[in-house]
Amino acid sequence: MKTPVFTGSGVAIITPFTNDFVDFVKFGELIEQQIAAGTSAIIVCGTTGEASTQTIPEHLATVEYAIKKADGRVKVIAGTGSNDTAHALMMSQNAEKSGADALLMVTPYYNKTTQRGLVKHFEYIADRVGIPIILYNIPGRTGMGFTAEAYRQLSKHPNINGVKEASGSIELINQTRLLCGDDFYIWSGDDSATVPIMSMGGVGVISVLANIMPAETAQLAQLCLDGKFSEAMQLQTKLYELMNTLFIETNPIPIKTAMNMMGMDVGHLRMPLCEMAPDNEKKLRDVLVKYGLIK
């Protein structure tokens, strides 16, 4: 029986940038804030961390820094997915050498391989690393997603721990639970889907919201783990407007903008991501005021 990499709330942490590299002083502050607030795992260099516009040296250094800063207090999961299998393997092996607890690997984007190719891609990497892999299903960004049958095949591999599910398909989760049973773990990849997915056996969330409300996100996930779904749904409903507003433009544009509005000074977005449209920025500011996060 496999053990889940983590349970509860994992933060898909942003990457704070200076003009030419990563702001590691600020990054360290953010990690400490997450640990203090009860976050169970730090997911570094994922979509929210703008990994797609990091250089290889930046990516490797960011993963290594997060591992050293966390110092075993929480799990550190490194985003190492790529549309190039060889590149994904290289990044994964480097993360493992740095001491990462697990890997988060998105489906190969742009190539749009077959389901057979998906299985071969992840099995190839899983055969060559010694730490768990969490698959990442987000077809809205990658152009392709998993079927439940592909999950079934991949669930047999001892190094494939489960999936971050951001497909929005409850039917897929139903099918996956049926085919894979209890030895393939599911994490919500959307804050607003946390309670539905965890009520179906999910073990946690990989959260964008946790960047600004880590304690509340941890509480939401813990209520689900405790089987208190009515209370969890009340909390999710309370947080829903903020969750939704953090996706009025492409992630991580709103969350990074929100953090800067809150005085967290996390730096700029990297092109081709850019500043929010003025009307959306006003909507975001108004919601942050409503939730008491800014005045």
Query: What is the pLDDT, as a whole number, of residue 164?
Result: 98
Residues whose CB falls within 8 Å of the CB of residue 145, separated by 6 or more in sequence, listed in order: 107, 137, 138, 139, 167, 172
pLDDT at 205 over 90: yes
Query: What is the pLDDT, as a whole number, of residue 87?
Result: 97
pLDDT at 174 over 90: yes
Q: How far apart are CA 147 and CA 110, in angstroms?
A: 18
Catalytic residues: 136, 164
pLDDT at 79 over 90: yes
Q: How far apart are CA 163 and CA 184, in angstroms?
A: 8
Nearest Cα to Cα of residue 221 among 3, 6, 5: 6
Q: How far apart are CA 129 and CA 268, in angstroms?
A: 34
pLDDT-derived band at 90 (thresholds 50, 70, 90) equals very high
pLDDT-derived band at 1 (thresholds 50, 70, 90) equals confident
Query: How high is the mean pLDDT of the chain?
Result: 97
| CATH class of domain segment(s) 8-226 | alpha beta
pLDDT at 129 over 90: yes
- Whether 86 and 121 have beta carbons less than 8 Å apart is answered as no
Nearest Cα to Cα of residue 91 among 64, 53, 114: 64
Of all helices (H) and strands (E), which one includes residue 161? strand 160-165
